[in-house]
Structure 1
């Protein structure tokens, strides 16, 4: 047994680095999936909406921990090769992010009045051009507070990656705690780091929401 040292603090920073890498990858790939789901969910073709809705309900009905376990232990079984932990957790978090971002952005798209579509169509724009140049900018403004709020949840949610051995911030804290038996001190530092990252984003989300509602 030893006391907490500078080496442990450096390990926390390295774990934080991998937490941020996981967040960025999950948000980027999840954003692409979310955009696709939002477009499918607002499609004029009913079967397309039904398929997208079924996928969304399936993923939202499964705990994130179960997704992590499935992709970490299941991908080697289905692919027949060992998959790096970063790949497995990125896939799980990307799917998790995609379904929630998809619902947030679908709400933003549907919040734009249909007359905006009609006005864009009257200018001779194609359906895709209507979305890109007229609808998407308005939907983004509406969805931005909730998107930032979800980003906070994603940052905190990455701590679950520790259960499959991925050494992010929480896992680095677990390792230090096991070596020093200073659980209170270790997890207080870990919590402070999470707070330092999430608090500014939370305040930004509230500021955006107040500005959108005309109260800020």
Structure 2
């Protein structure tokens, strides 16, 4: 058994936590871009387009993230597309994140009074002008809190990347546990680091909710 001091364990976990943070940011940015596209598609009110978006959302919300990672990593390789563990983790988390963000943003837009769409048409605004000047400025304020709140789930979801060999915080904790045979100490540090990453996001979400009076 290799001897590790508490600082050695914590230092290695903090190094791995950087990859957890980078993976979370990359997945959230990717998910945001995809979700914005899908939300715009849904707002067109085209029946076929709306049905495509609905199938996408139900597919990635209704299947486990772990299975999505397996399919991205092993499935793509089986059909000839080699992908790294890093790429598979980003791809699967992006798809997972976008599916939930679409629903969050749809709900925020639906909270706005329908009369605002009608009033915009009376004023002569087209669809894009209505979105830009009337709908999005209000919906964005409502969406801030739940969007930031969902980012906590993205951070915690990165832990599943360990099963495809990507060395992030959970994988590093497993490796250190195998080397030290001190699971309580190692995974207590892992839990504390996850808490340090997620708790500020939860506080930020609550602050935004109060600031923009989301409940009203």
Cα deviation 1:41-69 (Å, max 9, x = unaligned) = 33321221111111111111110000000
Whether 1:154 and 2:177 are equivalent positions in the alignment is no
Query: Which residue of 1 is the match for residue 183 of structure 2?
Result: 183
Pairs within 5 Å for 1:38-187: 38-78=39-79, 80-187=80-187
Equivalent-residue separation in structure 2 for 1:81 and 1:32 (angstroms)? 23
The unaligned stretches of length 5 or more in structure 1 are: none
Q: Return the offset for 1:9.
A: 2.8
Query: Which residue of 1 is the match for residue 26 of structure 2?
Result: 25
Cα deviation 1:70-111 (Å, max 9, x = unaligned) = 001011122x24311111110000000000001001111121
Moved more, 91-100 or 14-23: 14-23
**SS of equivalent residue, structure 2 residue 2:** coil
| Closer, same or farther: CA 23–41 of 1 in aligned 2, 3 Å | same
Equivalent-residue separation in structure 2 for 1:9 and 1:189 (angstroms)? 7
Query: Which residue of 1 is the match for residue 14 of structure 2?
Result: 13
Equivalent-residue separation in structure 2 for 1:196 and 1:88 (angstroms)? 26
Whether 1:201 and 2:201 are equivalent positions in the alignment is yes
Moved more, 3-12 or 175-184: 3-12
> In 2, are the aligned partners of 1:3 and 1:182 still within 8 Å (CA)?
no
The unaligned stretches of length 5 or more in structure 2 are: none
**SS of equivalent residue, structure 1 residue 167:** coil
> In 2, are the aligned partners of 1:39 and 1:106 still within 8 Å (CA)?
no
CA RMSD after TM alignment: 1.8
Cα deviation 1:140-177 (Å, max 9, x = unaligned) = 11111111110011101110111111001111111111
Return the TM-score normalized by structure 2. 0.92
**SS of equivalent residue, structure 1 residue 194:** helix
Q: Return the offset for 1:7.
A: 4.0
Equivalent-residue separation in structure 1 for 2:154 and 2:3 (angstroms)? 32
**SS of equivalent residue, structure 2 residue 108:** helix
**SS of equivalent residue, structure 2 residue 153:** helix
| Closer, same or farther: CA 44–82 of 1 in aligned 2, 3 Å | closer
Moved more, 92-101 or 140-149: 140-149
Equivalent-residue separation in structure 2 for 1:151 and 1:180 (angstroms)? 32
